[in-house]
Amino acid sequence: MPTIPPSTPSPTPRAPHRARRLAESFGADPERYDRTRPRYPQQLVDRIVASAPGPDVLDVGIGTGVAARPFKAAGCRVLGVEVDARMAAFARAEGFDVEVAKFEEWHPAGRTFDAIIAGQTWHWIDPAAGAAKAAELLQPGGLLAVFWNVQQAPPELAQAFSDVYRRVLPNTPFAVGPRNPLDAYDHILGPTTEGIRATGAFGKHEQWRFDWTQPYAKDEWLDQVPTFGGHSRLPQSKLAELLTGIGDAIDAAGGSFTMGYATIAIVATVGDHRRTDRPDPAS
């Protein structure tokens, strides 16, 4: 499987947040996106909820609500910000309050939050401006938690998938041969961490990792492929050729496979110097 994340086949991989048209292309088929996209480990949700000072959560790039649902189920009050009106409409139909805007330009109207989350979306946000805005919106002790699902296909199948992309879409990152999947995230994780550090508002930041697996039948994987970044903009003939090639590769592997995932989170807490609940030393 290609080692660039499905949501990041950008022509400017060093600055994916600049590829705005690509960032705003995921709403072409929100029903398929919601049906097929992998979820996130419950351990991640539980740890974020336990680490936040309260239940008010802002989901940046809520999409169809894939990341937001387990937080709502855990008792959080979730507000979404979403750049794509089609995605926002889907999430609203799922019961979420969603405001349509780019996060960097969104007006919070005085609202603050105990946690800000972003599942598979923070790379579409300017890492410096996004972290600075998050720091302004968080309550003292509040948590910024941004996370991604990193695919780790079985090596032979990863190579077969890359071969298909090299033949059908040779100028995309999906055509890159197998390597350590986490290496492909350097251009995302590095700027994210630097953006957080540059604010001076966060007392600490950590990287969490959760490993898990998901079995896929051929039809299940092919149902998800059109939701990958940029794929909704492909000519139908190219998409059909791509799906045929990927399907043939899965057939050759026995008709199904198990995808390994590593969910990587960068988590930062607003520092003590922002706290307002410390005792007054003069009292």
CA distance 160 to 140: 49
The mean pLDDT value of the chain amounts to: 88
Average pLDDT over residues 251-264: 97
- pLDDT band, residue 276 (cuts 50/70/90): very low
Decide if 117 contacts 58 (C-beta within 8 A): yes
Average pLDDT over residues 72-97: 97
Place of tokens 């896929």: 216
Average pLDDT over residues 107-128: 97
pLDDT higher than 70, residue 113:
yes
Query: Global pTM?
Result: 0.87
98 or 177: which leads in pLDDT? 98
Q: What tokens does 122 get?
A: 């923070």
- pLDDT band, residue 229 (cuts 50/70/90): confident
Query: Which pLDDT value is given to residue 251?
Result: 98
Q: What tokens does 241 get?
A: 């050729």
Q: What tokens does 20 get?
A: 């705005």
- pLDDT band, residue 22 (cuts 50/70/90): low
CA distance 36 to 52: 29
Question: Strand pairing partners for 205?
Answer: 268
- pLDDT band, residue 179 (cuts 50/70/90): low
Query: Which pLDDT value is given to residue 28?
Result: 78
Taking alpha carbons only, the member of 74, 64, 57, 6 closest to residue 31 is 64
pLDDT higher than 70, residue 10:
no
184 or 151: which leads in pLDDT? 151
Q: Which amino acid is at 134?
A: A
Average pLDDT over residues 219-243: 94
Cβ-based neighbours of 123, under 8 Å, separated by 6 or more: 5, 7, 8, 16, 17, 148, 188, 192
- DSSP 8-class letter at 74: T
CA distance 33 to 66: 9
What are 37-82's pLDDT values in tens digits? 999 999 999 999 999 999 999 999 999 999 999 999 999 999 999 9
Decide if 148 contacts 6 (C-beta within 8 A): no
> Packing angle between helix 236-252 and helix 155-168, nearest 10 degrees?
150
Task: Name the percent of the chain lying above pLDDT 70.
Answer: 85
pLDDT higher than 90, residue 178:
no
Task: Name the percent of the chain lying above pLDDT 90.
Answer: 76
Query: Which pLDDT value is given to residue 279?
Result: 34
Instruction: Please write down the long-range contacts of 217-221, taking CB distance under 8 Å and 24 or more positions apart.
Output: 217/255, 217/256, 218/247, 218/250, 218/251, 218/255, 218/256, 220/36, 221/246, 221/250, 221/257, 221/259
Average pLDDT over residues 179-186: 76
Which of 98-102, 167-171, 261-265, 271-275 shows the lowest mean pLDDT across its residues? 271-275
pLDDT higher than 60, residue 171:
yes
Phi, psi angle pair for 38, to nearest 5°: -65, 150
CA distance 79 to 125: 17
Decide if 158 contacts 1 (C-beta within 8 A): yes
